[in-house]
Amino acid sequence: MNYLAHIYLAQHSDKAMLGALLGDFVKLKDTALYHPEIQADIHMHRLVDSYTDSHPIVLQAKGLFQDQHRRYSGILLDIFYDHVLSQHWPQHSPAPRQELIARFYAALQEQSKIVLPDNLQAALPRMLSQDWLGSYHEFDGVRIAVERTSQRLSKNGDLLRSGLDDLQSNYVALSEGFQEFFPELIHYIAEQRRQMPG
């Protein structure tokens, strides 16, 4: 799952949404720097990733990628799944997508006074000005996000970018897989939250 899906799963509070984003940027040893509610969703972010990576539907989806792209299929699917969630938003949420995104951006700016990791602090102005979360709605937004991610790789960024072809050629199958998988993820996370102390 990428940013939009993580934030969707944490939308019950602003601090939880921030924790859901920080899960990609904060090392476990640094979680004590944050409010307990933020800490909880940093941990929840990792549960989401672990559940997703091991789910049979996701493993089957990875098998649709060409051999040279398969090692990057997890990254490609994470970004693509945000696109599918955005495209089918009304099926998953009664609240408008842009409303939740605007609320998250406002919370992120308000919380920027806390200790944000340097890489997130550096990315924050671009995330807001380029509307990263809103941009996933169109496939061009997926392409831009993949290109942005490829620039952070130490090597083989070209293989990540060329994996976009696999997303396009398997668009329907991957979309249908997400639509089957995502309700199961929602149920799993709801169960995990019920087991959390406090």
Would you state the pLDDT for residue 154? 64
Best CA proximity match to 80, nearest among 189, 1, 17, 181: 1
Question: What is the band of 14 on the pLDDT scale with cuts at 50, 70, 90?
Answer: very high
Q: Which of 15-19, 55-59, 158-162, 164-168 has the lowest mean pLDDT?
A: 158-162
Best CA proximity match to 179, nearest among 104, 73, 85, 48: 85
Span 162-174, average pLDDT: 95
Best CA proximity match to 8, nearest among 189, 195, 145: 189
Domain boundaries, the chain: 3-195
DSSP letter, residue 115: -
Question: What is the band of 172 on the pLDDT scale with cuts at 50, 70, 90?
Answer: very high
Mean pLDDT of the chain: 91
| CA distances from residue 16 to 20, 28, 171, 189 in whole angstroms, order as listed | 6, 16, 31, 13
Cα–Cα distance measured from residue 18 to residue 1, given in angstroms and rounded to the nearest whole number: 15
Q: Which residue has the higher pLDDT, 115 or 36?
A: 36
Question: What is the band of 8 on the pLDDT scale with cuts at 50, 70, 90?
Answer: very high
| CA distances from residue 151 to 77, 91, 163 in whole angstroms, order as listed | 18, 34, 14
| Alpha helix (H) residue ranges in the chain | 3-9, 14-22, 36-54, 56-62, 73-87, 89-92, 97-110, 118-129, 132-135, 139-150, 157-162, 164-169, 171-195
Best CA proximity match to 137, nearest among 100, 183, 181: 100
Would you state the pLDDT for residue 184? 96
3-class secondary structure, 102: helix
DSSP letter, residue 67: G
Percent of the chain scoring above 90 in pLDDT: 65
Side-chain-side CA neighbours of 118 within 13 Å: the count stands at 0
pLDDT tens digits for range 59-76: 999 999 998 888 899 999
Q: Residue 15 is encoded by which pair of tokens?
A: 């601090």
pTM for this prediction: 0.92
| CA distances from residue 34 to 26, 41, 91, 137 in whole angstroms, order as listed | 10, 11, 33, 31
Would you state the pLDDT for residue 31? 87
pLDDT at 198 over 70: no
Span 168-195, average pLDDT: 95
Would you state the pLDDT for residue 153? 73
Is residue 83 within a helix (H) or strand (E), and if so which, with residue range? helix 73-87
pLDDT tens digits for range 99-158: 999 999 998 888 756 677 888 888 888 899 999 999 999 999 999 999 988 988 767 778
